[in-house]
Amino acid sequence: MASILVVEDYRDSRTVIELILRDAHHQVYSAPDGAAGVQAAAKMRPDVILMDLAMPNMDGWEAARQLKADPSTRGIPIIAFTAQVDPEALELAARAGCVSVLTKPFEIDELLRQIDLWTPHNHAVSA
């Protein structure tokens, strides 16, 4: 079981992702925008962050940059979660510190595979 922070501005999307992850026995927290996500990550220190990129108040690119600049959250893997699949958006996600990109709409199996790939217990085994 991993602790996962879902940062997504659309409530319906956030609810669906939370249900999928809880059904897979993960502990799930959520935030409605990048600013709240940065605060939640600093407080909760989740194992993985699933970060939407296009959000109001603070977008996912800036939130990822802030998380990677903070020594207390730098090591948390951030999976970008976006419908923006143009090369520029993907490059910006990588430069902001995201470890991978999950595109919307997503396949449930791919979401769970990405979470499993970046949870600490699996990351430590492969290292």
Whichever domain contains 115, its CATH number is 3.40.50.2300
Q: Quick check: helix, strand or coil at residue 82?
A: strand
Residue 99 gets which letter from DSSP? Answer: S
CB 90 within 8 A of CB 121: no
For residue 101, report the phi and psi dihedrals to the nearest 5 degrees.
-130, 130
Q: Examine the pLDDT at 125 and tell me if it is beyond 70.
A: no
Number of domains into which the chain is organized: 1
- What pLDDT digit, counting tens, does each position of 17-66 carry? 999 999 999 999 999 999 999 999 999 999 999 999 999 989 999 999 99
- What pLDDT digit, counting tens, does each position of 93-114 carry? 899 999 999 988 899 999 999 9
In terms of DSSP bridges, do strands 27-31 and 3-7 run parallel, antiparallel, or are they unpaired? parallel
CB 53 within 8 A of CB 84: yes
pTM of the model as a whole: 0.91
Q: Which domain holds residue 18?
A: 3-126
